[in-house]
Amino acid sequence: MSGLNKTFCLAMMFSLLSVQTLASNTDRNSQVFKYQSKTGVTSFSDIEPIDMYYEVIKAGCYACRVSSQVDWYNTKLYPEQYFDEIEYASHLYQVDANLIRAIIHAESHFRKDVISKQGALGLMQLMPETAKELGVRNPFIAEQNIRGGTKHLAKLFKKYYGDIRLVAAAYNSGEGTVKKYNGVPPYPETKVYIERVEILHKRYRQSI
């Protein structure tokens, strides 16, 4: 590995570890700031950067809030967002493209740089370790994130024999939790997540 590539890989690993640590210490109402350091490395902080361009990244799963005021039957859809990336992943792993859209909408509202309070990253909210297992080197690159998330969905579909409710439950709360309760966990956040994914899935199917 060349010196330049090694430096890039180390910088990326440091950034992802920093994101995971930062997000794990972030409450529901706090903010995460993304900016480019003087050396050109993407960095994250819970303190607003001074004298430099930055983006504000909110923490939290978009469709998991039990008290959400969003009208899920009428909220704006984004069928053209990342169209090529979603269609490619859909064909590659044989997962319904509109379900991928529904998951992305539910997880991140199509924001590719979003970070959850648990440390999940990007469009399909992949945890750093999960992203690594799925072969995702940079979860903030849409193509990689969507391909990794779709690969994970394909695995869940096989495991749960195509039961979309269990797939969504496992994607949200983990396979271990679904096993523990032998079905959909009794968590309010997971229940509303499943319901909203089903609504979005149906609406995306009707929109294209």
Which residues are marked as active site?
107
- Helix residue spans in 27-162 (DSSP H): 83-93, 97-108, 128-133, 142-159
Give me the torsion for CA of 138, 25, 156, 84, rounded to 10°: -40
Q: Which amino acid would we find at residue 187?
A: Y
H helix and E strand count, the chain: 8, 3
Burial, 144: exposed, middle or buried (Cβ in 10 Å; 0-12, 13-18, 19+)? buried
Are the CB atoms for 101 and 80 separated by under 8 Å?
no
Closest CA to 32 of 63, 163, 24, 92: 24
Closest CA to 112 of 142, 137, 134, 136: 142
76: left (phi over 0), alpha (psi -120 to 50) or beta: beta
* Distance (Å, whole) CA 98 – CA 55: 29
